[in-house]
Structure 1
């Protein structure tokens, strides 16, 4: 009796298996009493490509040759798109572009139909459409600094870090031959160089954004104009050297003069007790200085031994006895605080200003010099010796 029951069950399951395989592909059959409901094969999957007030839906079709058309519904079924399926050789993807959509999230319902208009089981797919709100949230990537190379046709860009959707910067510039050219900088490029631009023109740039790796559209913002400063380049500090003359203040406290040009900002140069005092160094070549950028010793900003009032002198052939013969005064300088607070008082703005380095612009058309002498008249704390954290020297000379 038990064996007979098992045989009957196996026979029933076998009949079901045979019956369900009668139709090719992934079609489904449902039975209600004596009737039969046939379902067409639905799409395998849909890849969503968000866009600007539109969306591209790439439907991966099944291999069922009976499927003849596809229908997509959205907005709770109020809107729809129907398209016939024309299969191309070795292409199982059907791209459906839906335009003129409002910004926001959507649920798309997919149906396919066979040649007898039997529908498939529904496939629900979610997607996001971008628009004005997203566009208004975008801002151009910031240029942190521009720095000339050895001549006026080489310019180094230092870019701020990109945001997550940044896919690059498009730069428009005038080439040396007079043509307008475009250069792309990738988001992972924070330091880039332009070699072939016309030095007498400004630049325009804009950042390109892609809200999703599958997005069908790029978003842009308005162009930002870069006002290119007049040519000025930093002298190569690897050529700087101590040039000690008999009347110069010497090193003390373990802070040696080469610390002034080592690109390290946690130490510096310090002198012996003597005021006023001066010290000399060799910039390694003959140049007409246009600007000095000086960093204060970071552990005593606007205090103690950091310079407040000083003079910058230059010479091409200083007197060996340390006198002031053959020296030309290039500038009288006074360090300032943005806050204007008295004495050694300071605020966060003052500290940030000093840590960025303070510029001291020299008069135009100064003579070429090779040796620099800084004469210190007063420090912020009225101290007897002097400290300097770091120092850069610039020139507008166009030759190395």
Structure 2
């Protein structure tokens, strides 16, 4: 046991002696390295980001806590080029910018130092970035339009856009309002529809649009397409909507012709939306006869379309001529005192051939329906009375009509 303790004592003494001589040697090296005095560094930048630009790069720098720093110097092209910028204190922010102009279009690596009043430099901070030129700008394209079409349901001209290109941040739209004033709208990449009402734009004028890009997340400049694209904004067609047929109801007044003896030809067929099926047939009775229905809404009729029953075009009981009347409060006794005459209508046969003989033109006209435009001075009306004057056949026991579709310019 004594021999073991003794041996450890020797080891400890040797270690102390070795440490002494080692430290003495290190001090000799330190004195040799710092013959000119202690090395002092200026406070380095916290961060440096190289932001891309058009033939330039911006160095966005965050200063450290060293208040003795008075300037910043950046080197590039393997220290062949440099730019120095003083730091004016007090600062409103610890973030400063150094804009480096007149750069060729390529990537650059920067070494950035700070300096204090005595010329001490900081440790280096590095950053890399790209300068873009005309080749990049000329390759940019405007966002493209998918379609420009009126939507009468919302009474607007709808401009639909295709998806934005990569890097596209917005598209600037310029057009004239209905009052002739210039208006600018910014379309974001997440937006794909521009709706213009009659008041929003001038029909026949041009929509000019130009897109902007950021080549990367750290871009300093916004890059615009050189030339705007143009599309003509056609005027909206006059507003018109179809009367809602789901509101239509048969109305039987005392003097009206009765219902048909054929169950498959009820009055509701007049507004069921099928122009090729059975229509409406009245009860048996000589002309003139009349019938009434409720449209469920009061509006001014702009026009309407009448279809003949397709199984008897220009023939037999198909109604040829009639008068249309309107009322908002028809007399319960079925008299005509409360009705306003709207117009007389006749289904025209293009060929003029006798009943039962139809040309291809006759059939096409009947399938398209006979359109009747109403006078502009008629009043709003809710209830309609059709007075049948004639049919196409030489003899007939009842009157038949296929389908009626009515339109109004009144807004709901």
**Shorter-chain TM-score range:** 0.5 to 0.7
Q: How many residues are treated as equivalent by the alignment?
A: 281
Q: Does 1:315 align with 2:291?
A: no
Shift of 1:186: 1.1
Match of 2:234? 229
Distance 1:193 1:209, change over 3 A: same
Instruction: Find the partner of 1:172 among 145, 152, 174.
Output: 174
- In structure 1, runs of 5+ residues without a counterpart are 20-28, 251-256, 259-268, 272-276, 289-313, 333-361, 370-392
SS of 1:134 mapped into structure 2: helix
Pairwise CA RMSD of aligned residues? 4.9
Measure the CA separation in 1 of the matches of 2:241 and 2:212.
35
Q: After TM superposition, list the pairs within 5 Å mapping 1:343-362 onto structure 2.
A: none
Match of 1:32? 33
Q: After TM superposition, list the pairs within 5 Å mapping 1:1-400 onto structure 2.
A: 5=15, 32=33, 34-35=35-36, 36-89=38-91, 91-150=93-152, 154-195=156-197, 196-221=200-225, 222-232=227-237, 239=244, 315-316=305-306, 323=318, 325=320, 326-327=346-347, 367-368=372-373, 400=411
SS of 1:139 mapped into structure 2: coil
Distance 1:328 1:155, change over 3 A: farther
SS of 1:158 mapped into structure 2: strand
SS of 1:59 mapped into structure 2: strand
The normalised TM-score by structure 2 is 0.55
Q: 1:270-322 CA distances to partner (integer Å, 9 max, x unpaired)?
A: x9xxxxx7899x9x99667xxxxxxxxxxxxxxxxxxxxxxxxx724857988
Measure the CA separation in 1 of the matches of 2:162 and 2:33.
66
Shift of 1:34: 3.6
SS of 1:173 mapped into structure 2: strand
Shift of 1:202: 1.9
Q: 1:124-175 CA distances to partner (integer Å, 9 max, x unpaired)?
A: 2101112212112211111111232449983221110111211111111112
Measure the CA separation in 2 of the matches of 1:49 and 1:122.
18
The normalised TM-score by structure 1 is 0.56
SS of 1:133 mapped into structure 2: helix
Greater Rg, structure 1 or structure 2? 2
Measure the CA separation in 2 of the matches of 1:184 and 1:218.
14
Shift of 1:37: 3.3
Shift of 1:240: 7.1
CA contact 2:203–2:234 (8 Å) conserved in 1: no
